[in-house]
Amino acid sequence: MMQDDTLRFSVIQMTPGADKGANIAQARGLIDAAVAADRPGLVSLPEVWSCLGGDRAVKTEAAEVLPAAGSGETGGDAYEFLRETARRHRIHVHGGSIGEQGGDRLYNTTLVFDPDGREIARYRKIHLFDITTPDGQGYRESATYGAGDAVVTCRIGGLTVGLSICYDMRFPELYLALRRAGADLIMVPAAFTLQTGKDHWDVLLRARAIETQCWIAAAACVGPHRDGRGETRFTYGNSLIADPWGSIVARVSDGPGFATARIDPARGAKVRRDMPVLEHRKLA
């Protein structure tokens, strides 16, 4: 799974809905297939893969009370699935994001587990998706979710991994903070809308890779789901991995699936040595 300091890494693309059990089964099948085919040491799931769509009540029911960080206590179905998957395959699992119960609010939360099933990182999405798409559809993530406030990294193999979620990608100051925290690889699990994705997805992800000189990995949802009013909405998919030069080195085709790349820290080190943009930065 690892050779020297390199890491084989798979991004998982899903078409989730509001049925948490069905979503877990879909995630399990895709991860098992990726491990069998490509033997990654790290896999990443999309944003809100455990429950996409439905109204506030549906999201609240699917959300989980998370064990205290580092406690080793038992969590909910999605939490335990991620933990069990890491143990069963002896890999690191980046859990995309799931709904976290937080009193009168939910949080859009990333969890990372090591091959022993230990939780090694937890990140709450900072920037909430309150926008209107070009076709007039409105999204108000802040009506259901609270915002996080912490910049989070963890160590996986020889890499420092920075955590972000979807809409965060539009805010380069977070990615600068992750680079300054030592990130070599930055995760961007997403449920990006079709309307915005077709114009902005590749551009934004490649820009974040170029600016930070980090590997960027974006596991995404793809296809239709039903919102709380029963209307069909579409996510863009196109899960990808980009290298520190901004070149896309792996991409998932349409529909559920996975793509795998070899993350080599030496690639980032060379780019940073030859073009030391962090040292040249003047205004931020």
What are the pLDDT digits (tens) for 134-154?
Answer: 989 899 999 999 999 999 999
pLDDT at 2 (0 to 100): 44
Residue 40 near residue 72 (C-beta atoms within 8 A): no
For 48-64, what is each residue's pLDDT tens digit?
999 999 999 999 999 99
Find out whether 263 and 21 touch, Cβ atoms under 8 Å: no
Residue type, 71: S
Q: What is the pLDDT of residue 72?
A: 86
Mean pLDDT of 235-243: 98
Q: What's the average model confidence in pLDDT over 229-251?
A: 96
Strand partners, 140: 130
Q: How many CB atoms lie within 10 A of CB 194?
A: 17
Helix, coil or strand: residue 101: strand
Report the amino acid identity of residue 74.
T
pLDDT at 3 over 70: no
pLDDT band at 4 (very low <50, low <70, confident <90, very high): low
Q: For this structure, is 47 an active site residue?
A: yes
Say whether 59 is catalytic: no
Q: Is 166 labeled as catalytic in the residue annotation?
A: yes
The active-site residue, picked from 47, 100, 119, 141, is 47
pTM over 0.95: yes
Residue 228 has pLDDT above 90, yes or no: no
